[in-house]
Amino acid sequence: MTENKVSRQGKLMCQAIAALTKENLIGQKFKNGEIRKKIVEPASHWRCPECFTNTVIELAHCQAELLEFEQPNHEKVILQLHGGGYIGGMRHAYRSFAGLYNEVGKRCSVLSVDYRIAPEHVFPAALIDALDGYEWLLQNGYTEDQIIVAGDSAGGGLALALCLALKENGRKLPCGIIAMSPWTDMTASGPSYKENFDKDPLFGGTDDSMINNREYAGEEDLTNPLLSPLFGDYEGFPPLLIQVGSYEMLLSDSVLLAQKAKEAGVKVRLSIYEGMFHVFQMAPLALPECKRAWVEIGHFIEEISGGRAEYGQTEEDGTDDRGETADADE
């Protein structure tokens, strides 16, 4: 396997994040989610790109947004579930994510669910809203074979929980899952919670961080697979792409998930990006690792759409379904 190196830009960005979140008043508020909770983004700070429409959809308990190109590709559709530790709502960053999914997915439409969040709405509110988003797609012309569920952080865990809930109820599953730095284990039982405690620039160095926030769980058992998907049964699941940074405290959430899913016969690609932080895909595309991750997502969408070699085969980017580290050294 190719020796993997973090890019110079990646090192600088990781250092910058660590400096921003170091132990001071503002830094701690970044880590524990206080700033994430209170972010107010004026609508004027994001504009729908030309040749696109962004339509607000009213679901039963929340809103969703449908981003569509003027001549959309209906072969696939993305159901996006945002991150934020179940305590932070929709942000402009996820509208930008929708645009990137559209681009790498060759003009596929993206439905982003602004699900209810804690502490006002505890488990299973977010899961119910994700299910409503899935149902909306089915009621509006899409089939399960066209839906790819995608999410980052808590949204990655929610994407997996959604599919576990569908399976539990005997429903047909979507055709693929994309999970960026998924939060899959609220019990924090994996080794990386300790091993990366001093490495993780976003959540490390303190026990008062978003990944230790259990407001959404309420009184529910943290081993419930619909809260902690790591403990779920993955037999019969669709192809799964997992991306994670090697410095993350949540690294083992991805590694153990990939191992469990593969043992259940799922086609899994686990890509560990050396020296990367939580949801590094949100960084500017000038960051080589970020660009490579989005290219990989595009390959995944194309593969499960039948446009490339069978999913799970080794690709030129150095990732494969054996959980080997992604080569992100450009």
3 pLDDT higher than 60: no
Phi, psi for 186 (deg, rounded to 5): -70, -10
Residue 320 pLDDT class (50, 70, 90 cuts): very low
Dist. CA 233–CA 296, nearest whole Å: 26
pLDDT greater at residue 317 or residue 193 = 193
Residue 30 pLDDT class (50, 70, 90 cuts): low
312 pLDDT higher than 60: no
In a domain, 140, yes or no: yes
15 pLDDT higher than 60: yes
Q: Tell me which of 248, 289, 296, 315 is the catalytic residue.
A: 248
User: So what's the pLDDT on residue 78?
Assistant: 98
Phi, psi for 196 (deg, rounded to 5): -105, 15
User: So what's the pLDDT on residue 2?
Assistant: 31
Residue 317 belongs to domain with CATH number:
3.40.50.1820
User: So what's the pLDDT on residue 321?
Assistant: 38
In a domain, 1, yes or no: no
In a domain, 84, yes or no: yes
First to last CA, the chain: 16
In a domain, 105, yes or no: yes
Q: Tell me which of 82, 121, 278, 299 is the catalytic residue.
A: 278
User: So what's the pLDDT on residue 314?
Assistant: 35
Residue 292 pLDDT class (50, 70, 90 cuts): very high
* pTM higher than the cut 0.85: yes
In a domain, 3, yes or no: no
Residue range of the domain that includes 138: 8-326
Residue located via tokens 């503002």: 26
**CA quadruple 122, 163, 158, 227: dihedral, nearest 10:** 50
Mean confidence (pLDDT) of the chain: 88
User: So what's the pLDDT on residue 28?
Assistant: 66
Does the annotation count 248 as an active-site position?
yes
Tell me the average pLDDT across 289-302: 97
Residue 26 pLDDT class (50, 70, 90 cuts): low
Does the annotation count 305 as an active-site position?
no
In a domain, 242, yes or no: yes
Number of domains in the chain: 1
In a domain, 290, yes or no: yes
Beta-carbon count within 10 A of 255 CB? 18
In a domain, 118, yes or no: yes
User: So what's the pLDDT on residue 5?
Assistant: 84
Q: Tell me which of 109, 153, 209, 271 is the catalytic residue.
A: 153
